Structure 1
């Protein structure tokens, strides 16, 4: 048992994920055969990079047809304009009837409307040609490929690849409401992740990004989001991680082995101190507990002898002999 300044911390275990909105599934917006796929799992991509495209034959034909229809509509509009202008001149010279002029004006209006419809169809066909390819919306890494080159896509909700940003990453973890009350945005946090190839665990330093204002209805806990830089891409999306969030420092705290903590009759915790050869139960408040050590406050001053194991079976006042 030792006394001295000790960090108050909350340990939260969760899963590493890309920041919200930075993990997306992509695919073409038109159906067809996937004619070109330029990436695979693990590839690094830049923002705006073309990742693949479906065959453009059908949409290209549709675009050419729409372009021809738009040209015809424009020519019809010009012809209607000329006819209306001639009819008005003839009307002024008393050669043409007013009814003919009104018919020419109506024909011009109809021709302009047809031209507008043709232009809208041309714009749609032009967009479809652009929809045949799909691009990375931001810089990141390809985390999954769902459809291979040569296969057919439906052009609706069927994704081809998944792209995620990996620097930084977030740890999404749940803590109890009591622990959440001690956590604030901006608090320092260290991350431990097991299973990396060059070390048993990797430790990164980040901070608390957000603490949810609501309690999860399914588990009764509070979501905490911690963000950690990942410039070397050592941290992987989906990895299980443990964040140690530093919530404060207690100058007069005492550190004891976790096995020394005993349940008391009032529902709290205590330790069994040995004084003058007898057991005395002392209530303590646990500030934090990790790696087999508990940081507590209470009547302990540091340096006392406490029972580390088996103290729960010794009632108050039991005589014991300390063997050194």
Structure 2
């Protein structure tokens, strides 16, 4: 009776569980079997990349403005003349000697006409003086001959002393008139020389009414206005970039200035332009500003490059270029002030001290400590320590550490 009741209860429980959707699983213990062993845990995966040979370029970034290498100021040497014509605009390319503007010439033309009249008078005065000299010479010759005849007659007793004195006086006067005529010629010639000098001055002033470009270049600015009265003490009428040469004038911290040398390559980006310009360091100023602690560097741009003077620009100067074993910057960690890298050897982490060289572009030159081909943890010192067992996973090419 008891066995029957137990069987009935078991049957009812099985029916209830089946109806409620609860599955009853038989355990191994129910059948007398041993439990299965759990699979061994894998070491943590970590991204590695091989140390590879490459080129490391170290650079310094500088900022500044684009300026002409030599800015030529074009003004006037005349005062009080009116500007009547303009033949150049900003941005024009000009040649040396090309006329940029013209001034009024009315006053100078009148003065030149007066000077021409003065020259004619000088020529007439010189001719008159020469005639007077010729007349005086003839009179002097005649007076001296008369004196000689009088002296001869007096010796023979045919002429008195008073007659001889009179002839001597006439000879002296004739000599004096000749001398005066010669001096008059010298004065007339001096007057002509002065008039000719004045004419050359007027012609020079007339030539300066044509304002010419002193050099080849590009007109950067024009302050000239038609109708304006010019003055030599005023603002320059034109500003020209000599030969069109434009440079980047950049300010550099004194700590970086010593690493910059003439001839180094520079990559330049100008504000408002996507173009990349290749330049070279032309000048490293020997003086550092005491107030700002900045030095000055001039970087020459290629001839004919299209840029705007005065624009802001940024330059990247290549200060060193080495080829050798390289590592990403993220693979290096500093321990006790010394650089180290974590290398995976036989699935175990080894921390190695490094001797590094230059760095740039996110990579570092390795002089010793890691050989080419060693698997190096890309992000060192973050997840694992020396001696840990790991599962190395090769980094996807192009991925950043």
TM-score after normalising by structure 1: 0.76
Offset of 1:119 from its aligned partner? 0.9
Match of 1:206 among 279, 284, 291: 279
Offset of 1:243 from its aligned partner? 2.6
Match of 1:49 among 98, 106, 114: 98
Q: Are the equivalent residues in 2 in contact too, given 1:189–1:244 (CA < 8 A)?
A: yes
Offset of 1:127 from its aligned partner? 0.7
Summarize the alignment of residues 149-298 of structure 1 with structure 2, pairs less than 5 Å apart.
149-165=226-242, 167-196=244-273, 201-231=274-304, 233-252=305-324, 254=326, 256-257=328-329, 287=358, 289=360, 293=362, 295=364
Query: 2:138 maps to what in 1?
Result: 89
How far apart in 2 are the matches of 1:88 and 1:149? 62
Structure 1's unaligned 5+ residue stretches are: 312-316
Q: Are the equivalent residues in 2 in contact too, given 1:18–1:170 (CA < 8 A)?
A: yes
Q: Are the equivalent residues in 1 in contact too, given 2:56–2:360 (CA < 8 A)?
A: no
Find the residue that maps to 1:9 and give its secondary structure. Answer: strand
In the alignment, structure 1 residue 137 sits paired with structure 2 residue 239? no
Q: Are the equivalent residues in 1 in contact too, given 2:341–2:354 (CA < 8 A)?
A: no
Find the residue that maps to 1:153 and give its secondary structure. Answer: coil
Structure 2's unaligned 5+ residue stretches are: 1-48, 144-170, 394-401
Offset of 1:56 from its aligned partner? 1.1
In the alignment, structure 1 residue 19 sits paired with structure 2 residue 69? yes
Find the residue that maps to 2:82 and give its secondary structure. Answer: strand
Offset of 1:124 from its aligned partner? 0.5
Q: Are the equivalent residues in 2 in contact too, given 1:36–1:53 (CA < 8 A)?
A: yes
How far apart in 1 are the matches of 2:336 and 2:118? 88
How far apart in 2 are the matches of 1:194 and 1:306? 36
Query: 1:122 maps to what in 2?
Result: 199
Q: Are the equivalent residues in 2 in contact too, given 1:77–1:111 (CA < 8 A)?
A: yes
Specify which structure has the higher proportion of helix.
2
How far apart in 2 are the matches of 1:118 and 1:285? 82
Query: 2:125 maps to what in 1?
Result: 76
Q: What RMSD, in angstroms, separates the aligned Cα atoms of the two structures?
A: 3.9
**Residue-by-residue CA offset, 1:70-121 (whole Å, 9 max, x unaligned):** 2322322232233223322321222652211221122222222211111111
Offset of 1:195 from its aligned partner? 0.6
TM-score after normalising by structure 2: 0.63
Find the residue that maps to 2:288 and give its secondary structure. Answer: coil
Q: Are the equivalent residues in 2 in contact too, given 1:212–1:224 (CA < 8 A)?
A: yes
Find the residue that maps to 1:121 and give its secondary structure. Answer: helix
How far apart in 2 are the matches of 1:303 and 1:75? 107
How far apart in 2 are the matches of 1:234 and 1:209? 19
Provide closer, same or farther for how the CA distance between residues 158 and 174 of structure 1 changes in structure 2, counting only shifts above 3 A: closer
Provide closer, same or farther for how the CA distance between residues 117 and 193 of structure 1 changes in structure 2, counting only shifts above 3 A: same
How far apart in 2 are the matches of 1:76 and 1:195? 73
Find the residue that maps to 1:61 and give its secondary structure. Answer: helix
Query: 1:6 maps to what in 2?
Result: 56
